[in-house]
Chain A
Amino acid sequence: MTAVAADAWYRVPWPVRRVVVPAIAVALIVLYPKYVADLPTQFPEMSTAVAMCVFIVMALGLNVVVGYAGLLDLGYVAFYAAGAYIAGWFATLQFAPHVVQLWPVTVPSTLPGVHVNVWILMLLVGAAFAALLGIIIGLPTLRLRGDYLAIVTLGFGEIIPQAVNNGDNWFGHNVTNGPNGLTPIDQLGFGTTLHNTFSFLPANYRQEFDVNNYYYWTGLFLIAITLFCCIRLRDSRLGRAWVAIREDEIAAAAMGIPLMRTKTLAYAIGAFFGGMAGCFFAIYKSSTFPQDFTLNISIFVLCMVILGGMGNVWGVMLGGAVLAYLNYQGLNSIGKTFNDTFGTSVSVPTYSFGIFGAVIVIMMLVRPQGLIPSKRRRAEFAAAEEGLDVGRAVMEE
């Protein structure tokens, strides 16, 4: 069925396929806040849409690690936490009474604590800190392969939140404020100067009536950056090296690819986007708590990658959007529709993990390659279905 659909799609003339359809899709997505009020309530609300953006960025980042380089990472939440705590440290009252302000855009000039420009924090510092953490975690662990790597990353995914949870007393210093978290975090905004020149740029998102819309558009901007980087990297020298490592480490090394360096780069780049997403989400929620960073998030993001189709950015984005939607709103609204129709009173969201588990199991049985698999995965699965071990197919002739 999908093959038929794909065929029909490729018969569409290319100007329509490559320009008109994408342009319409982008317009529909960007203008979503303008018509969401007229849609049925099952459609994502703006707050759900922001969460979807966050998880799409994370899924794209994890896709670099898992989909491109084939490194199973079960501790991705560590980088999400890293980004969030960068926002928590450098845009809150945490370090009051010290006053440090670096080009803050939405903060009164007398506010104590460290206040760095939130854009710089989100796009550079949070992401770069997560990438650095990725390198630090990656260097010792990426020598391991497959399941062993998965277990060690799982460990790091647990260590980071625990460390943060106990961070209210690191050798006598209150670094993370422990379970009480860090709040409030400075809000995104463009500052009064830019606002006065371009009135459509709000000085401070939180002062706007439709604050969620601005966060949504910012989220789309982050997705665009991430998507652009992912596609460019996929088609580069580095992207080829990742595929080679995923296929055959020994052959890759024999062809001159430095394994550790290349894997660590994948890990760091994945972490970079995870940190960016974490920082953005913390700013949006204006808070960050250790409880936000559980193993569930790592698994959840991994499910998005697998469900959507490892290695394919479009599939991964779809997977991220669908699962984030279901988690934040979909299950609730589906449950409500269900109860209204049948007169029952089932609390569907309480079964969310059972439902996600069932979805994954069904996907693995029916379509293990994911919703929109990459060309390479498709070829692999096609060969596997013919009962041939891809690597040795020819030797058996």
Chain B
Amino acid sequence: MSGGNGETPDAILEARGVRKEFGGLVATNDIDFVVPRGGIVSLIGPNGAGKTTFFNMLTGAYLPTAGEVRFDGREIAGLPAHTITELGIGRTFQNIRLFQTMSSIENVLVGMHCRMKGGIFGSILRTPRVRREERQAHERAKELLRYCGLHQRVDEEYAMNLSYGDQRRLEVARALGTDPKLLLLDEPTAGMNPQESSEFTAFVSRLREERDISVLMIEHDMKVVMGVSDRVTVLDRGEKIAEGSPAEIQSNERVIEAYLGSGAAGQAGTAP
């Protein structure tokens, strides 16, 4: 894996002192965070560490109490979600949020909404331009579905009727439909078996190589995290407690303490 823990001057996403308070509760405390262009970064931490809160500030769902978030050189904190998507951040959801009564293709087409132009009058009159756009969008949607490993026979199937694994794949395909520069994956392998997880790991690497997409993911499966990330950030109780390459994180005492409790770190060191 390339990258390592050195500061990369060319950052696609840069968070400085991002803080979120809910009433008196500090969910994330002045976090500094960087995703290098072309990097694959994992965000890990125990439950309640503030990972999803942090994610929600990147995607426009929450407004940070303090701090700034720069994406591709532009301040994005506080922008509405759809604008952030348009700028080039695509996301998936931890608890799958597909459009249940839309087909696989339609789901991806919704993802492509902000890259299309067809308006009211064009749609009613079905002008050649709109027709061409729709045709190209359908082709591209199919291409994305194949790319994400969905079989042709589920193209017209409602999302609610897909298998769990296919729903996960469709979420990624839909996010790719937004044509992102940075893809945020919120626990993408939750509920997958080891075989599927390792396939997914390979898929994420391919995304970077073939599509030139940077990836930021929240993930609990350490095999996936260590296998694919070139940089790992660990949150615990709203604080960033460690950052570095997977190897560095694995041996970091504070991380082991956060995951296993104090005292475990010493034992872990002596374990055979």
A residues touching B (Cβ–Cβ < 8 Å)? 228-229, 232-233, 236-241, 243-244, 247-248, 250-259, 265, 269, 375-377, 379-380, 383, 390-395, 397
Contact = CB atoms under 8 A, between A and B. Distances in A.
Contacts of B120: 233, 238, 265, 269
Contact of A258 (B80, B96, B116, B134): B80
B114 to A, nearest CB: 3
Interface in B105-131: 106, 109-111, 113-116, 118-120, 123-126, 130
Given A232-B126, A238-B123, A395 B95 contact: yes
Chain B binding surface SS class? helix
A259 B82 contact: yes
Chain B, interface size: which category?
35 or more
A237 B97 contact: no
A264 B191 CA distance: 38
B33 interface: no
Given A232-B126, A236-B123, A237-B113, A253 B160 contact: no
20 contacts: A232-B125, A237-B123, A238-B123, A244-B102, A244-B110, A250-B97, A251-B97, A251-B99, A253-B60, A254-B85, A255-B82, A255-B177, A256-B82, A256-B114, A379-B101, A379-B160, A380-B100, A383-B100, A393-B160, A395-B96
Given A244-B102, A254-B85, A394-B167, A233 B124 contact: yes
Contacts of A255: 82, 85, 110-111, 113-114, 174-175, 177-178
Nearest to B61: A250
Interface string B240-252: 0000000000000
B86 interface: yes
A252 to B, nearest CB: 7
B110 A252 contact: yes
Interface of B: 59-61, 80-83, 85-86, 91, 93, 95-102, 106, 109-111, 113-116, 118-120, 123-126, 130, 134, 158, 160, 164, 167, 174-175, 177-178
Contacts of B86: 256
A238 to B, nearest CB: 6
A256 B113 contact: yes
Given A379-B101, A394-B96, A394-B167, A236 B82 contact: no
A96 B124 CA distance: 39
A253 B81 contact: yes
